[in-house]
Structure 1
Amino acid sequence: MLNICSSRLINITFYIHVYYIFLLLVCFFVTAVPKLNIFYQTSVDDPSVLTLTCIAKGFYPSDITLSWVLSVQEVPHSREQAPATLHQDGTYNIISTVQVKDSLWSPEVEIGCEANHSSLTQPLMTKIRKRDDF
């Protein structure tokens, strides 16, 4: 009877160790690449200000850096970024917004949102141009 119990205990202990090793491997080696979307709208408070929003979706792990680029320079205006939110599938989303003066942004100039994440071999960027009719 003791041998049967100790044998089952050894089996259970083995499976627990395998499970923890699996979790460690998942934590260190599983990644998901972010997908970027960017859009803009006129600020509710001030029609001369445009609010640009960049959404990074479906990435793992949660550490990510989003930055805004106007041509080659950083965008010189107010910027906000919320913490990453966890979804049921285990991936994260994050939203970054920046406000720029309408006069700063002409239709020929692209504004980009750049993501740096451990799943990427180089930064990911998506760009947007201002519509003429905006």
Structure 2
Amino acid sequence: MYGCSWDEETGDVDGFDEHGYDGEDFLSLDLKNLRYITSMPQAFITQVNWNNNKALLEQKKQYRTQICIDWLKKYLQYGKSTVERKVSPQVSLLQKSPSSPVMCHATGFYPKEVTISWQKNKQDHDEDVDLGKLITNEDGTFQVMSTLSVEPEEWKKNVYECVVEHKSRTIRSILTEDKIRTNYDSTTSLPIGIIVGVVAAVLLLIVTGVAGYKVYQKKKGFKPVNASDDGSNSSAHSDPKV
């Protein structure tokens, strides 16, 4: 195994050339003293031969202090836009319904290292908190969610904050009703009392309608007896006069 290192701030360079055998260190290059060193007796012959080859040692030094460093700088420059890329997270407070847990959602950040925590009245709050898994977005950024499971009455009478710490910046979101994003629409939800009242009224109308229809049917089927019919019938059954 061989390679090099470069300190961008100080400009110091270093290199290494290490050899192993049967899972153990065999020979390694001491670049400062330009010689190979070993602690294994089996490597003594190879050590002497390599140390006597001055041209080989100079070649090793030149590669690790010049050629390798030049390539290292080029690779760092090529990958600088990715290595040093910083994208701030977008933080939202989400809730499914007024009684549901509150979720602190951070998304679109890069790199992936991020910390999400909750504070209650400026003090760290770890109870009733569930941290979700880190998810990769399609554009290569990341998202994660932390859920706070406390009753609305609790966070309304205290100051709860979601704190998102990222390499780009730190974002603090105070939990208030006006900052919560939700799909819940209060205008489409009726109180249970109104719903029960409407159902009862509909049932009452149905019962009244059925009763009225039956009364109407009875009246329609009743036929009164005519007076003439009564007279004819009585004369027909009266005894003849003698």
Could you say which TM-score interval applies, normalised by the shorter chain? 0.5 to 0.7
> Which amino acid is the alignment partner of residue 87 of structure 1?
N
Whether 2:128 is the aligned partner of 1:83: answer no
Structure 2, unpaired ranges of 5+: 1-72, 179-185, 187-242
Matches of 2:124 and 2:95 in 1, distance apart? 17
1:105 to 155, 179, 184: 155
Partners of 1:39 and 1:128 within 8 A in 2:
no
Distance apart, 1:83 and its partner CA: 2.0
SS of the residue aligned with 1:67?
strand
> Which amino acid is the alignment partner of residue 171 of structure 2?
L
Structure 1, unpaired ranges of 5+: 1-16
The 5-angstrom pairing of residues 44-123 of structure 1 reads: 50-75=100-125, 77-106=127-156, 108-120=157-169, 123=170
Matches of 2:175 and 2:119 in 1, distance apart? 11
- Please tell me the root mean square deviation across aligned C-alpha atoms, in Å: 2.9
What is residue 91 of structure 2 aligned with on the other side?
Answer: 36
> Which amino acid is the alignment partner of residue 176 of structure 2?
R
2:173 to 116, 126, 133: 126
Q: Between Structure 1 and Structure 2, which shows a larger proportion of helix residues?
A: 2
1:58-79 per-position Cα deviation (integer Å, ceiling 9, x unaligned): 1001110001112212235321
Q: TM-score, normalised by structure 1?
A: 0.65
Higher relative contact order (CA 8 A, sep 6+): 1
Q: Percent identity?
A: 21
The alignment of Structure 1 onto Structure 2 pairs a total of residues equal to 109
Larger radius of gyration between Structure 1 and Structure 2: 2
Whether 2:71 is the aligned partner of 1:22: answer no
1:26-77 per-position Cα deviation (integer Å, ceiling 9, x unaligned): 342111001110133559xxx6xx5110000110011100011122122353
Distance apart, 1:98 and its partner CA: 1.3
Q: TM-score, normalised by structure 2?
A: 0.39
SS of the residue aligned with 1:30?
coil
